[in-house]
Amino acid sequence: MKPKDTNKKADLSKKILRELSSILEIDLELTSESEQVVKTLKQYYDEDLVDDSRRTFKALMIASLARSVFLPRESLKDKYDQLSHLRDRDGYKQYDEETRKAVQEIAEEYVPVNLYHNPYLRRAFREAVSPDEMRSATSSLYETKQSQIRTKLAKLVKDDFEEMGLTKDDFDFLPDIETIWPAIEYMSQGKELAGTTKNEDFKDLLKYLKDSGANVGKKGVAFHHIVWKKAFDGIFEEKAALNPANLIALNDTRHGEGDHDLLHQAGSYPKGHKLGSGGGKFSDMDPEIIIEQISNLHLKERVRKHYLYEDIIKSSLEHRAEAKKSGADSDWRTEVDIGRIMLSGDGDRKPSSKAENKEFEKLVEKANRSKSVAQPKKGSAGIGK
């Protein structure tokens, strides 16, 4: 490798690490405000509408976790093929707007299974990993924490099913509900999305799904890094091995079949690089596309619950108005573009006129104060920004 390329890779690596560390510090300052937000929104919107928006959001998050049991959908594979083609066209450097947009579209698919954005994963992670462990970890600690996070996650999902009385009706708007329902039902019983098939309950689930004709992976679900902990001379191992913004729940099936290989082959490695069961060469990772993935998926700050629920409510109201005008009879929940909503970012959003009250203003004020602690500089992430 030429000295100039080596220096550029080192500079980008440090930049990625700064961004990941910054978003972690911001997030550690924020607390969960779900219950208060629901009370606040009910002062300005119909109570049933608020409850429906919350149940819909939870259904979408749980369904995303259940889908990680299955192999990638063809539509997602097509998006990866397109990204791979664009990276090849761009010569694996100086990616243009079309390539960055392709990365964004894949990010919208994955945001619901990111440990920073998905509230179930985020809570499970926080219960299993201390702030100090998030800031500084080792490979062995990361491996140990995986099973602890899975155990916490199983309980959180089970508790919500019981406390909110969730049933299949809450998920029946999903186009793939009949395929993924057995995995959702399995999770509702407090059973773990295991990392391997050594877990007998999980092994039985995979067998049942396979016998039903579902396209399931040979392994379970693992929390994988966008930027590998030992990449670029190992500078990420200590600071990013247990950073939730760097972790995604993916099907762990390898050899080109599961999400794991797709993620790294199309988004990180040069053309023709093949991943083996033990992974690829860390030195072959592409920092230019890695920082683009990180920028699109994680550095768009986690959207606060108020905005998430209100955006879903607005989607419902808009759909109902259109349906009334056209006379169509359809379920508004099918129109919720959750990936886009979750990546819309809080930015400079203010409470809408329907939510201007002192309690919510305090939440926003607290979030803004937290952002000032370690806010990334504007335009500091991404290529050509």
Q: What is the DSSP string of 261-311?
A: HHHHHHHTS-TT---BTTB--GGG--HHHHHHHHHHHTSSPPPPHHHHHHH
Mean pLDDT over the full length of the chain? 83
Q: What are phi and psi of 248, to 5 degrees?
A: -130, 140
Q: What is the pLDDT of residues 161-192, one digit of tens each?
A: 999 999 999 999 999 999 999 999 999 999 99
Asked whether residue 361 carries a pLDDT value surpassing 70, the answer given is no
Asked whether residue 256 carries a pLDDT value surpassing 80, the answer given is no
Which among 135, 145, 138 is positioned nearest to 22, based on CA atoms? Answer: 135
Q: What is the pLDDT of residues 299-308, one digit of tens each?
A: 567 888 888 9
Could you say which DSSP state residue 174 is in? S
Distance from the Cα of residue 36 to its chain's centroid? 24
Are 232 and 13 in contact, with CB atoms under 8 Å apart? yes
Domain ranges of the chain: 3-374
Q: What is the pLDDT of residues 304-339, one digit of tens each?
A: 888 899 999 999 999 888 888 888 778 999 989 999
Tokens of 216: 């399931």
What's the pLDDT score for residue 355? 45
Tokens of 56: 């819909």
Instruction: Report d(CA 97, CA 224) in Å as an integer.
Output: 27
3-state secondary structure of 254: coil
Asked whether residue 276 carries a pLDDT value surpassing 90, the answer given is no
What pTM value is reported for the model?
A: 0.86
Residue type, 136: S
Radius of gyration of the chain (CA): 21
Asked whether residue 372 carries a pLDDT value surpassing 70, the answer given is no
Asked whether residue 266 carries a pLDDT value surpassing 90, the answer given is no
Distance from the Cα of residue 15 to its chain's centroid? 21
Asked whether residue 22 carries a pLDDT value surpassing 50, the answer given is yes
Strands 247-251 vs 221-225: parallel, antiparallel or unpaired = antiparallel
Percent of all residues in the chain with a pLDDT value above 70, rounded to a whole number: 84
Which residue in this structure is represented by tokens 């995604």? 248
Instruction: Report d(CA 217, CA 129) in Å as an integer.
Output: 28
CA 158, 164, 165, 168 torsion-angle sign:
negative
